[in-house]
Structure 1
Amino acid sequence: MRILIVEDAADMAEAVAIRLGRAGMACDIAHSLSEAWDFLAVQRYDVLILDINLPDGLGTDLLAQLRARGERTPVLMLTALFAVDDRVSALDLGADDYLVKPFDHRELEARLRALQRREAEQKDPDIRLGALVFSPGAMEARIGEERLDLTRRELALLWLLARNAGRVMSKERLYEGLFSFADADVGLNAIELYVARLRKKLAGAGVSIETQRGLGYRMQADG
């Protein structure tokens, strides 16, 4: 899962990014609305964490513009405002959830996973390839009845490949789904490592991850 954190309190944003990074989520941080728009112009995100009060305006303005453009990326609002009217207003504008500061990082992580499951369940039913069954809502994979022991990034890679089964996915597209801009020291070759690990764990599943030299990777059922 790739997340954009729009929060002007640098210490808090960094703490959230570190915590979520340990859970396998790739996080980018924008400290203002203008920075957020710069990120959104070049990158797709699975969830936005959006503060209401920012140096150059209100997070709710960004939310309203996104929804007006028809973009349905799940948005979790962060607010120091306790008034019910403020929270209702954010939800009416199209926010999917909110947290009041200060909050427990465990709750934030749980809410993000709930948003991801909700979005996945609406968009993607279980994906079946050979003996492999991938459930986007639960973010888990099974071979028959046996649940695969996959890391968060391995799951993210499997989701990208499985939901695009039969199509070639470039290294760059896979990379942007697994790593944030802050992971500048992680090169594209890291994708080769994760693909190799995933291939081993999918042994016996009746699926293959083919290398398309110079293009990327393609997953498909054997035979």
Structure 2
Amino acid sequence: MIAGRDCTPDAGDWSSPLPRAFFDRPVLEVAPDLLGRVLVRTTAEGTIKLRLTEVEAYAGEIDPGSHAFRGKTRRNASMFGPPGHAYVYFIYGMWWNLNLVCGPEGHASGVLLRGGEILEGEEQAWARRPKARKGTELAQGPARLATGLGIDRELDGTDVCGGAEDAPLRILTGQAAGTGALRSGPRTGVGGDGAGHPWRFWLDGDPTVSPYRPHKPRRRAEA
């Protein structure tokens, strides 16, 4: 559990977009504060709203687990951009993952969106993930979340702080989680010097949170 943080529910309109200033903070402040917020994905098929229940923080060039650890590349360029934008990347040659850039421009920190509860538009997620066994699995894990919401490389660099209702991606205020619901631990699948960082944050007991899996080194094929 995270101590010493004020995560009382927000006052006012829960459906208003989060301001850019929300993301222009250190990644370890932004990441747990995203829990309970609402991700909105709008496509020609309609709108999906998802309450965030699990995230991971990546601290850029000081973090061995981050894509930006060795500097800027064509793949990770969006991480170095202004806060409040999306960083979307392909992983394992199969899946897309969605991150939200935070901190000052050039700092390259970001938050991986790992899981959430679909509040609206569940039928669209089912159409994209017909093999899911139940509704809580539709966005349980970063690849499932991206697939269910129809997220791919075309959204890399998208501004998530825009107020237009037809914007492809937005983050709404939602309701921040209380400190009693927050938990933290090592990031899933991260090895090496970044393995021990307790930078994965989730809502305790929520069924949409993905199972934790430690890093397993890949074995080299025998000659």
TM-score range, shorter chain: under 0.3
Structure number with bigger Rg? 1
TM-score (norm 1): 0.27
TM-score (norm 2): 0.27
